[in-house]
Amino acid sequence: MVFENNTPFPAIAWENVDASNHWYIATVARVKYLFDTVDNKGILCLKLDPSQGELFGEDVFYGTVGQSSVRYESDFVTYKPVTDIIVNAKAYLPSYATETQCQVEVFNATKQVLRSVSIHVKSPYEKSNEPRHIALRYEDAYGGGYATPREDDPYDYCTVDEYNPIGVGKHDKNTPKEKKREPLIEFVEERFRQEPYPAGFGIINRAWKSRLDFAGTYDDDWLKTQHPLPPYDFNYKYNQAANPALQLNGYLDIHSYIKLTNLTGAKKTLQFRIPDVILFNEQHTNNTQRKVQNMPIDTVLIDIEDEDKTQWAVYISYRNFLKKEDGYKSVSCHFLTKELLKEEA
């Protein structure tokens, strides 16, 4: 397949097939921004990173693969039904504090709240006259596991929280005197506290239950009747990488705002607007017909955990899932900005 990227951003398109053997073309482009100055309304401006880099070709973990939190997930995903909001950050505790509260809020262009999620963070340190910060990772949220011997088996087996195998809070029930480390991170809102998935703002591992439940059924029947196509009960919600608490009800528009509280250090709150960049793709056929479709924003990844604040970045991904037309010969990706639209008008 011929793909033309007419943007300055990393992008790619590829063919894929669904469970009913219908073919589609997935196109993804990602724009990387750095933090700039704050305007007279207190809104942080984003600027394009001169070095846009490459798409993430695989999942990137903070530590051991599969045994630590995911920092970046592969961009090679066909389709997401809604927008993921992902925040890699630290909670900042003021002097002498042993706990704090962090918040991520998403607003539309008219400042109506689309999503608001707060987490309570406990410090593992003693009181100090120096400010402290704690990385918000699922290793410190409820979950984990413990080894327990079975009566009918001399070998130990592990009981694991399927929603967060790397978390804390569980311990060997046969050794109750063993000190159990309590979670440092918990949701504030009761509606989220009642859910089985872990508290946090980061990426949920694709192998954890809140995502795996959407992956479909891969059994002997699938091998006999459906393989190599996906199972019929595969749900594209499996591709949603954000914590379920930070998955929106639809796609995020340009002009929308995101506000962060207690996640950026000395400045208690930080707010920025989604830039006016519009991406779309064209599918060209042999008879010169073309099909144009908008690429909605389906991922906003705010990466602000690094000590070096010059490395703080916002990655915004645009994705399109277009049915393959008969006689198609190429796909191209284009972009517009608000300024260009004004000029055309």
What would the pLDDT profile of 268-304 be if each residue is shown by its tens digit? 899 999 999 999 998 888 776 678 889 999 999 999 9
Are the beta carbons of 12 and 55 closer than 8 angstroms? yes
Q: How many CB atoms lie within 10 A of CB 205?
A: 24
User: For residues 168 and 170, what is the distance between their CA atoms, to the nearest angstrom?
Assistant: 6
Identify whether 209 is part of a domain. yes
In this prediction, residues 261-270 reach a mean pLDDT of 86
List the domain range (segments joined by +) for residue 295.
Answer: 2-134+200-344
Identify whether 147 is part of a domain. no
Identify whether 337 is part of a domain. yes
Q: Inform me whether the pLDDT recorded for 328 exceeds 80.
A: no
Helix (H, G, I), strand (E, B) or coil at 266: coil
228 upstream amide cis, omega within 30 of 0: yes
Cα–chain center distance at 112:
22
Identify whether 154 is part of a domain. no
First to last CA, the chain: 34
Identify whether 141 is part of a domain. no
Percentage of the chain with pLDDT > 70?
89
User: For residues 198 and 171, what is the distance between their CA atoms, to the nearest angstrom?
Assistant: 17
Q: What is the pLDDT of residue 132?
A: 82
| Distance (Å) of CA 88 to CA 57, 199, 202, 268 | 19, 13, 6, 17
Q: What is the pLDDT of residue 342?
A: 44
Q: Inform me whether the pLDDT recorded for 218 exceeds 70.
A: yes
Q: What is the pLDDT of residue 150?
A: 63
Confidence of residue 345 (pLDDT cuts 50, 70, 90): very low
Q: What is the pLDDT of residue 196?
A: 95
| Average pLDDT score over the chain | 89
User: What digits encode the pLDDT tens for the residues 140-164?
Assistant: 999 987 766 666 665 555 778 999 9
Q: What is the pLDDT of residue 147?
A: 65
Percentage of the chain with pLDDT > 90?
67
Instruction: Name which of 76, 68, 103 is nearest 87 in CA terms.
Output: 103
Identify whether 212 is part of a domain. yes
Identify whether 178 is part of a domain. no
Q: What is the pLDDT of residue 126?
A: 75
The model carries a pTM of 0.91
For the chain, how many structural domains are there in total?
A: 1
Q: What is the pLDDT of residue 344?
A: 41
